[in-house]
């Protein structure tokens, strides 16, 4: 009997520690995501209206289209793979001015933050069918952050190519 009690205690402790680790991951992500939002918006704010159509080479996206790609990806991943809704990809076809682009980006960050705020620790283990194979929600969160970082770095380079110093990096 004591053996079974010991095993039960170990199992419950393991589940509790695992759940706590997932809660910490979500909390860390929220902090990182809030800083990513402020840094991204600062990059967008620095590009002059007259240059949001800038692209460094012919086969690159413009600053505007790169920005739209970033926010479209955030909404797509958080919608299709985290909250069960489907994203219709309507953002592709718009050409906002800079103030509208900033507003759309604020909306995308608000949306993704709300989705993350509604995640429970065990949701991170939920499996989703992704085009790159089965993933869990934690992996989708990591991908969403990595994708944002990758393309935001391109926006920072677009700024530099136009003689504009990007904002100070906000990592954590």
| Structural domain boundaries, residue 67 | 26-161
Does residue 18 form part of some domain? no
pLDDT of residue 3: 63
Pick from 115, 116, 90, 118: nearest CA to 104: 90
Between the alpha carbon of residue 40 and those of residues 55, 66, 102, 119, the distances in Å are 18, 12, 9, 23
Dihedral, CA of residue 9, residue 10, residue 15 and residue 21, to nearest 10: 120
The per-residue b/e assignment along 124-141, b for 16 or more CB within 10 angstroms, e otherwise, is beeeeeeeeeebbbbbbb
- Count how many Cα atoms sit within 13 Å of the Cα of residue 63 in the half-sphere of its side chain: 26
Say which CATH number the domain at 32 has: 1.20.120.450
Please tell me the total number of residues recorded for the chain in this structure.
Answer: 172
Does residue 118 form part of some domain? yes
Does residue 20 form part of some domain? no
Separation CA 129–CA 31 (nearest Å): 27
Does residue 48 form part of some domain? yes
Does residue 41 form part of some domain? yes
**What residue ranges in the chain does DSSP mark as E strands?**
127-130, 133-136
Does residue 63 form part of some domain? yes
pLDDT of residue 12: 45
Does residue 66 form part of some domain? yes
Give the residues of the chain that fall short of pLDDT 50.
9, 12-18
Does residue 8 form part of some domain? no
Q: Which residues pair with 128 in a beta bridge?
A: 135
pLDDT of residue 19: 54
52-69 confidence digits (pLDDT tens): 999 999 999 999 999 999
Overall number of domains in the chain: 1
pLDDT of residue 109: 95
- Under 8 Å between Cβ of 36 and 141: no
């Amino acid at each position: 009997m004591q053996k079974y009690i010991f095993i039960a205690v170990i199992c419950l402790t393991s589940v509790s520690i695992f759940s706590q680790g997932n809660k910490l991951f979500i909390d860390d992500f929220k902090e990182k995501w809030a800083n990513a939002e402020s840094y991204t918006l600062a990059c967008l704010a620095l590009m002059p209206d007259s240059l949001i159509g800038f692209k460094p080479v012919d086969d690159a996206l413009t600053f505007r289209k790169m920005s739209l790609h970033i926010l479209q990806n955030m909404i797509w991943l958080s919608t299709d793979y985290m909250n069960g809704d489907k994203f219709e990809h309507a953002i592709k076809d718009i050409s906002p001015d800079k103030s509208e682009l900033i507003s759309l980006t604020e909306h995308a960050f608000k949306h993704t933050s709300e989705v993350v705020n509604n995640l429970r620790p065990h949701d991170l283990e939920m499996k989703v069918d992704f085009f790159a194979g089965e993933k869990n929600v934690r992996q989708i969160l990591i991908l969403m952050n990595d994708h944002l970082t990758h393309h935001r770095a391109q926006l920072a380079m677009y700024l530099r190519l136009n003689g504009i110093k990007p904002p100070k990096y906000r990592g954590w």
